[in-house]
Structures are given as C-alpha cells and as structure tokens.
Structure 1
Amino acid sequence: MNFNTKIRYDFIGNRNKFFLFSITLTIVGILSLLFFSLNFGVDFKAGTNMDILVGKAANQQDAKEILVKAGIEGITPTVGGTDSDRVSARFDEVLTQAKIVEIQEGFKAKYGDQVSSEVNVVSPDMAQELGIKTIWAILIASVAIMIYVMIRFEWRFALAANIAILYDAFVVVALFSIFRLEVDLPFIAAVLTTIGYSINDKIVIFDRIRENLRFGQYKNREQLSEMVNASIWQTMARNVYTVLAVLVVAVCLFIFGSESIKLFALAKIIGLTSGAYSSICIASPLWLLLKGKQKPKAVAKTTA
C-alpha cells in the first residue's frame, strides 16, 4: 500500500536497536536502585529542612561555619535566590526547637535582624506515609490510563501504551538514582505530569494508526509495518511541536528558576524527552509486535 508520506527514517525496521537500548537502560536503573536506592530528601525520610532568607548576598562557607558553631557538622548548605540571599540546609535528623533557634540566632548575628526562616520538619511516620501514598498515586494513574486507552482503542494499544508510560516514569527515577539527585515531593509531581504528557503523544500516534488501519487492507506484516511507519511520520510534526513547547518552558525553569524547582524542572526535561522517544520507538513498535501475533483477516472476495 502506498502512503503519501516521506519516511525519512525507518523506526520500525530499527526497532530492535531501540528495544535493546531501552532494556539496557532499564537493567542499569534496576541495578542502581538495588545497590544505591534513591537519594531521598527530607520529604521521604525523617529530618528537618530550613530555608533562611538573610536579606543580602550570602556566602556558602560562612553559612557552613554558622552550622558548625551550632554543633552541626557534615552539612553543606546551598545558596540561591535572586540575589544569592537564600540559604537552604537539609538535616537528616529532626532538630529540636532549641537547636533551630540557635541556628537562626547564628544567622542573625552574621547578617542582621532582617533574617527570616521557614522550617519544615518531617517525622518518620509522615515520611513513611508519603512514600506509600506516592506509590499508590503512580499505580492508580497508570491503571486509569490503561483503562482509558482500552475503552478508546483496544487492549493491544492499551498494553503497549502502559508499558511505554511505565518506562518513561522509570527512566526519570533511574537517572535520579544513577546520578544521586535528590528525590522530594516536586520530583513526584514531575513523574506524575510526565505520565500525563507521555500518554498524549501516544494517543496521537495510535489514533492515526487506527485511522489508517480502518481504511486500508494489510495482507502481510510488511504492509502493516509500512503503515505504522507512515503513521509515525504523519504525526511527527505535531508531536515534536507539542513536546518542544513544554520542553522550552522546562529548560527555562531549570536555567533561571530558583534552587527549589531546579530538580523538578530537570525531572520534567528527562520525562518529556523519554515520553517523545518511547511514543515513537517503543509504544508503536510494541503494538506492531502484539498485532503481529494476530493472523491477518482474509480480504473478502467480491462476486460479480
């Protein structure tokens, strides 16, 4: 069957390369999680987080010395804000109120009485509850998406889409584990929004595949492969423009945003990139693989 579409690259013909790359990354991610786990922030383990606004340009070494004078060693605070006037410090223990006051007084002695601070304390019970709820949130979102795709399309589309979506979420988690980046609540929000953006790309391609499937007769696997390739390229411009529009915003947040949202923006960048990749290189070829197990329907013969 001839499609009026210029196929610049044979994604379907090279699907085994993409599958091999994705499986390798998945295995590396699993090994990283098994041996190193995730670098959980205060949100997911007991501890204290302090954001201190000093009102003038702060110095990381001075902030570290203030913590040492308060009897806390081994903590390297981060300096951020529009004028480098915000100091953030995360402690792996629940600080007493007396210790918090001592740290606050140390910064006031160094930078003046205009110093203000925000303190967040997470108890062990709260950290455990947040972790459990996070797992449930991802599972419920994945199941809901799979049911939606099954209703709108069919089970092969749903299974291919869900495998690719779970892969996208796992890639974000795996890379954060490999590079020891901190995992906190904004990170979870980034993973959940990644799932949402990812399914959008896949629905666009699957919708075109279904349309081409409806109006064509495909007698063998080669014709079916050509149709999937054509469907990918027919929707390529729309998918690229949609992803780029959000990706530009995420990159700007990462470059110009405050320290508190940089990791959120980075997780979004990874998730969006993976979502675009998996829609073309995993979900579509995987549907073709599942469809290939089904015998093609015989073309009905017309009688004069």
Structure 2
Amino acid sequence: MHFNAKVHFDFVKHRKKFYAFSIALTLIGILSLFIFNLNYGVDFKAGTNMDLAIGKPITQAEAIDVLKQAGYEDMTPTIGGAGNERVTARFDEVLNQDEIRKIQDAFKAKFGDQVDAEVNIVSPDMAREMGAKTIYAVIIASAAIMLYVTIRFEWRFALAANIAILYDAFVVVAIFSIFQLQVDLPFIAAVLTTIGYSINDKIVIFDRIRENLRFSKIKNKEQLADMVNNSIWQTMARNIYTVLAVLVVAISLFIFGSESIKLFALAKIIGLTSGAYSSICIASPLWYQFKGDPKPKAAKTQASA
C-alpha cells in the first residue's frame, strides 16, 4: 500500500514516548499550580493599574525612585512606549483618588506638568467575575470545537482533537505557573487563539487521514499505522509553513513589542509550538489508538453461473 509520502520518522511507533513526555509536563504543571498557583495580574485580582505618559524618556531606576518618594517602596514598574516614555505600575490594593493624585503629583514634580495618567481599578467582585467568565470561555470554546469536529468527522477524531487542544491550553498555563509569569486578559486571549490555531493543524491532518482511509483497504493495525504516518508526512510541509508564519509574527512582537504585549506574544509562542507538537505527536496517534483493529468488509463472493 503506497501513499506517495516519504516517512522520515514513525510517529505512531514512538507514540508512548510522546505520551510519557506530555503526561510528565502535565503533572509538573498541576503540581506547580497547587504549590505556586498563577501570578494573577490586576485583571484577576483586586488592585489598581496606573499607566503614566511621562512625555520624555525615563529609566526604571528613576520610576522606582519617584514611587518611593510617593510612599511605595516595593514597586517594580515597567517602562515601555516609543522612546521609553511610559511607566506602568501595578498595585495589589485598590487606590483611592488621593493616593492616585499623590503618585501623579510625584511624577509631575520630577518630570513636569505634561505627565498624564490612565488608571484602571478592579474591585474584588469584578476580579471574581472575570475569573469565572474566563473559565466559561475556555469550556464553551472546547465544547464548540468538539461538536464541530464530531459533525465534520466522527467521535474518535473529536475526542483525540479535544484532548490535544486542552493539553495545548494547559501547557501555556503550566509554563506561566512554573515561571510565575503574570496572567492577565491578553494572556486569556492568547490561550483562546491557541485553541483556534491548534484545531486548524489537527483538522488538516485528520482530513488527510479520512481521505486516505476512504481510498485504501486497511486490513490490520500495521497498515493503519502506516496510513496515519503517511498522512502526517503528507501534510507536514503545510503545517510547518502555517505555524512558522504565525511564529515569526509572535516572536517579532516578543522581541520588538512594548512591555504590555510581550507576555501575550510569549503565550502565543508557547501555544503555537505546543499545537504543532500535539497535532503530530498526540492527536493523530490517539485517533489511531481509538480506532482499534480495522474491520475490513467481508469479501463478496460471486455466485457461480
């Protein structure tokens, strides 16, 4: 049986190694969440975010010094914007108007009256509501994708795809937990778009598997494994080019973008990489296992004339 693809590596044969690596990473992520939890930003916990436009270049050391003068000793603001003219400071407490004015006046005293501040305050109730809506968004997105794949293909494809995309989403969460990177609304957007890009890769491979399955006569597990491997390699170039095109953009944003979008870009890089890996090494081998032993149709016997 030939599928016109050169198989360089047998993904199905080595599937248990991929499963072991993925399970190990998942367990490490779960352990990290239990021990360290996530480093929630202001969007998911009560607090205040101040974004100050200074109007002239400023260093982090200067910003820290001004915040100390305003009475905030342990603040580590981030510097960004064109020419490093913006200061972002995140406070774990909800600041009142007098406290906000005191910080703004401290920067004006140092850099002039052109200093302007944009303030976002998240109350405890808003933080809890935001967290709940985020969980609902991930659940609804996953359920909708599983329903779509079930309608377009069949339940084995849907189950394999959903396990893989949930793994992709969790990998992003796990990495952010392990390294205690800040989780905010752009991070959630990155997770949801990761799910979208991830299912696209899997649909491409599944479509080729279904096509090859339709036009081949699979008689045993070995032939089924050969068909899955060939389907992966037939779509390998397309998947790599698609992922690389988006990765180039995400990496460029991470390197050259402002501080406010660096973590969003990093989450995208992690999610895209995981999505490409899971499409090839998890989703397709899982479908192979769910498919079980092929059951070829009984050959029709022709009645003798």
Q: TM over 0.5, yes or no?
A: yes
Q: How does 1:188-207 map to 2 (within 5 A)?
A: 188-207=188-207
Decide whether the 8 Å contact of 1:217 with 1:299 is kept in 2: no
Q: C-alpha distance in 1, partners of 2:301/2:17?
A: 42
Given the alignment of the two structures, is residue 230 of structure 1 paired with residue 206 of structure 2, yes or no? no
Superposed CA deviations along residues 259-304 of structure 1, whole A, max 9, x for unmatched, are 1100000000000000000000000000001001x55234423426
Q: Which amino acid aligns with 2:240?
A: V
Q: How many residues align?
A: 303
- Residue 99 of structure 2 is matched in structure 1 by 99
- Residue 278 of structure 1 is matched in structure 2 by 278
Q: How does 1:99-178 map to 2 (within 5 A)?
A: 99-178=99-178
Following superposition, the deviation at residue 134 of structure 1 comes to: 0.2
Q: Which amino acid aligns with 1:138?
A: V
- Residue 289 of structure 2 is matched in structure 1 by 289
Decide whether the 8 Å contact of 1:219 with 1:298 is kept in 2: no
Following superposition, the deviation at residue 64 of structure 1 comes to: 1.2
- Residue 300 of structure 2 is matched in structure 1 by 301
Q: C-alpha distance in 2, partners of 1:260/1:299?
A: 62
Superposed CA deviations along residues 89-127 of structure 1, whole A, max 9, x for unmatched, are 100000111010000010011111111111100000000
- Residue 63 of structure 1 is matched in structure 2 by 63
Decide whether the 8 Å contact of 1:48 with 1:94 is kept in 2: yes
Given the alignment of the two structures, is residue 78 of structure 1 paired with residue 78 of structure 2, yes or no? yes
- Residue 254 of structure 1 is matched in structure 2 by 254
SS class of match (1:49): strand
Q: C-alpha distance in 2, partners of 1:241/1:295?
A: 33
Q: C-alpha distance in 2, partners of 1:61/1:78?
A: 10
Q: C-alpha distance in 1, partners of 2:294/2:213?
A: 14
Decide whether the 8 Å contact of 2:157 with 2:206 is kept in 1: yes
Q: C-alpha distance in 1, partners of 2:267/2:298?
A: 48
Following superposition, the deviation at residue 2 of structure 1 comes to: 2.1
Decide whether the 8 Å contact of 1:46 with 1:124 is kept in 2: yes
- Residue 87 of structure 2 is matched in structure 1 by 87
SS class of match (1:235): helix
Q: How does 1:176-191 map to 2 (within 5 A)?
A: 176-191=176-191
Identical amino acids, percent of aligned pairs:
72
| Cα-Cα RMSD | 1.0
Q: C-alpha distance in 2, partners of 1:302/1:275?
A: 47
- Residue 212 of structure 2 is matched in structure 1 by 212
Q: C-alpha distance in 1, partners of 2:299/2:261?
A: 59
Inter-CA distance 231–295: structure 2 relative to 1 (3 Å threshold): closer
Runs of 4+ in 1 over 3 A off after TM superposition: none
Decide whether the 8 Å contact of 2:5 with 2:233 is kept in 1: yes
Q: Which amino acid aligns with 1:212?
A: N
Task: Extract unaligned runs of 5+ from structure 2.
Answer: none
> What's the TM-score, normalizing by structure 2?
0.97
Q: C-alpha distance in 1, partners of 2:294/2:271?
A: 36
Q: C-alpha distance in 1, partners of 2:60/2:5?
A: 57
